[in-house]
Amino acid sequence: MNIKNNIFTLLLTGISTICLAQSNPHLLPEHDFVVYDSMDIRYYNDTSNYNTFFRKLDDLIFDGKGKVRVMQIGGSHIQADIWSDQLRRNFQTLAPSLNGGRGFLFPYRLAHTNNPYYYKCTSTGEWKGFRNSLMKQDTTWGLSGITASTMDSAATLKFYFRGDDTPYYDFNSIKIFHNVEDTNYCIELISDTCVSIIRNEEIGYTEFILDHFVDSFEFNIYRTDTIASAFNLYGISLDNDDPGVIYTSVGVNGASTKSYLRCDFFTQHLRAVKPDLVIFCIGINDAYDPNFCENCYENNYDTIVSWIKKVNPNCEFLFVTNNDSYYKRRYPNKRVFGARDAMIRLADKHNSGLWDMFEVMGGLGSCVNWIKPGYAKKDKIHLTKNGYNLMGDLMFSAIMKEYNKHLQTLNKE
């Protein structure tokens, strides 16, 4: 048996072990507040599957070829990048050498809002933050849904990873997404020398290509004339040519589907990410609105799906229902049912799967059962770090169960 077949057998055995049809299919400690029987990804027509995504995963795992790109998008559940980072780590450790780099991210501290712990950005100059979720704010946004802006004549930006358990993300390409066409600012890399600088006006970034790999950087940003204008930072992408999984998390505190429709450069920037699988987790803020409109919610999602399909017609989608939550901490939010019904219709029409987080939690009023053991916060909306990590493991197990079915079909060929 050749090496490829050995890897296939080991992977098939490992994933099959993870996905055994038992009360707790991912071999995690039993939690009586989790409804394991609701964990499977559900399809609503006979044509729905993830074969395109899984075939790319096959090429990566068995032949060491290509990048597999996943993007998870939502609100505050995602901005903290705990839930999404757990999924990222699970994908990148599914088999040896699957770390394809960190890819697209945003330095949230620059916009004066909470940042994921494992990377840090420090700066000089006066920066102002704009979130797509704040309707009183008006600026231009890109894929990240958040913009950091400065009008200072000179500023600096320094970035590095931290944390003993943070995977090693090195890169030899740094893309700075900014207002390329209408800015009179210059960006100067001062931490290293670069081979070339590419100014991509079509997508909207300045790229610095290095002749070696680094894990941090520092830039000077300075105005080149006396005319007052703004430098708008929309995001950063840290890339390399290594095959592997790149997992992009896009999240903004308070963001709804309507919020992302405000992002003029969403599809433009998405061309640099070009995801193979998008995991949709936008909805908790839509359903928190007393004037929640189920049809509007569905239509907004249809628009976002159409934007993504323009960038990658072969992209596949996983719709995730809202977690159970309470309105004003007192009333179970029954608008979750309307949002869930809309997501079922979306999964059906877009040949996608649905992961029912609401039912996995236990249905209406169940978040109180997650609070007691420390897996949800007392605001009855958000999870704790342990809760998000658990949710990441539960969702990954559901995806791997589908991948196991795909591998079983390959085994029969």
Say if residue 180 is in the same domain as residue 151.
yes
What is the predicted pLDDT for the residue at 326?
A: 96
Q: What angle do CA 261, 264, 267 make, to 5 degrees?
A: 85
CB atoms inside a 10 Å sphere around CB 10: 11
What does the longest C-alpha to C-alpha distance in the chain come to?
Answer: 69
**Residues 367/359, Cβ–Cβ less than 8 Å:** no
How far separated are the first and last CA of the chain, in Å rounded?
16
| Whether pLDDT at 66 is above 70 | yes
Mean pLDDT (whole number) for 110-116? 97
Which distant-in-sequence residues (6+ apart) come within 8 Å of 60 by Cβ? 66, 67, 68, 98, 243, 244, 245
Mean pLDDT (whole number) for 364-384? 97
DSSP assigned state of 3: H
Say if residue 284 is in the same domain as residue 229.
no
Say if residue 257 is in the same domain as residue 305.
yes
What is the predicted pLDDT for the residue at 322?
A: 98
For the segment 219-230, what is each residue's pLDDT rounded down to a tens digit? 999 999 888 889
Mean pLDDT (whole number) for 65-75? 97
Model confidence at 318, pLDDT cuts 50, 70, 90, reads very high
Domain C-terminal end among 225, 241, 257: 241
Q: What percent of the chain has pLDDT over 90?
A: 86
What is the predicted pLDDT for the residue at 1?
A: 41
**Residues 316/282, Cβ–Cβ less than 8 Å:** no
For the segment 268-283, what is each residue's pLDDT rounded down to a tens digit? 999 999 999 999 999 9
* 355: containing domain: 1-100+243-413
| Whether pLDDT at 349 is above 70 | yes
**Residues 396/91, Cβ–Cβ less than 8 Å:** yes
Say if residue 287 is in the same domain as residue 412.
yes
Between these two residues, 98 and 16, which has the higher pLDDT value? 98
Q: What percent of the chain has pLDDT over 70?
A: 92
User: pTM score, two decimals?
Assistant: 0.94
Say if residue 16 is in the same domain as residue 58.
yes
Say if residue 384 is in the same domain as residue 404.
yes
Between these two residues, 320 and 192, which has the higher pLDDT value? 320
Domain C-terminal end among 220, 241, 262: 241
Say if residue 120 is in the same domain as residue 205.
yes
Distance of CA 14 to the CA centre of its chain: 26
Say if residue 257 is in the same domain as residue 276.
yes
Mean pLDDT (whole number) for 44-66? 94
Domain count, the chain: 2
**Residues 113/87, Cβ–Cβ less than 8 Å:** no
H or E element at residue 155: strand 154-161
User: At 106, is the secondary structure helix, strand, or coil?
Assistant: coil
What is the predicted pLDDT for the residue at 113?
A: 97
